[in-house]
Chain A
């Protein structure tokens, strides 16, 4: 229980550095470090599927963010600090923490979950599906509608990114590539 707390504190420090650094390159790299710590935390929490996915997704999002900020504004421009949005942001964050605190106290203790639905899956998972990885059995057999919706959202996001960034119809001529 202490190890997960230590990892969470390191993630807090990493997020503060990522939000407050002026150099954009180190900011993106520190976000990558936070994601890797989260992958480690998933491993400690006995979720190896999530650890693999988080590690790989973190690498890919790091590549995307680096591709955008490289050769652009290497650092945030020095403007005189604007105190009003900073004050609003701190107030909102503290209010969110204040409101969420009593709700978190009502939840079951850390380490003793209520597993009313999951008991069914654990007992009958292998007999009903034949898969020994219970997470795969849940996402692709018991709750396949969830995955179908996820596929639709993924398709929509990919379509949106391709449409926003397309070049045909806006350039004059002589650019045959990237029509998708």
Chain B
């Protein structure tokens, strides 16, 4: 079992069972950011942690198969563009960051659309950015060890 990269069988099995739950919890935190504690920053870091968890247990190849570095860069830029476009949408109503997307009904999931879309954009940006940084540091550490 030691031929393939990664940790032991116990760690791999537990990872296979938990990594999906961690990812879903991150998405839940992002989507409910305007109703309950959490939001784009916490959810983004949790999403990054789920991929990091995969990388630590299975080696970098498996993690790259799920989310490769070019895809992560593109997603990070998409987050930035989405956030800026939410901001520019305010120019329709008056000024930068104006609240044009409706407010919806409070205490329901689809409400406060500006906060919702900004949360999604921030979570993409934070998650992919931190994943890229950690992957790069881990690979550099492996370089030194040789």
Q: Which residues of A contact B (CB under 8 A)?
A: 48-49, 51-53, 56-57, 59-60, 63-64, 67-68, 70-72, 126, 128-133, 135-137, 139-141, 144-145, 147-148, 151, 154-155, 157-158, 161-162, 165-167, 177-180
CB atoms of A133 and B35 under 8 A apart? yes
B143 interface residue (CB < 8 Å to A): yes
- The total number of A-B Cβ pairs within 8 Å is 144
CB distance from A131 to the nearest CB of B (A): 4
What 5 A-B pairs have minimum CB-CB distances, sorted nearest first?
A130-B103, A130-B112, A48-B37, A131-B34, A131-B112
B75 interface residue (CB < 8 Å to A): no
* Contact A162:B136 (CB < 8 A) given known A59-B49, A131-B115: yes
CB atoms of A60 and B115 under 8 A apart? no
Chain B residues with CB under 8 A of A145? 97
CB distance from A153 to the nearest CB of B (A): 11
CB atoms of A158 and B39 under 8 A apart? no
CB atoms of A129 and B129 under 8 A apart? no
CB distance from A74 to the nearest CB of B (A): 14
B24 interface residue (CB < 8 Å to A): no
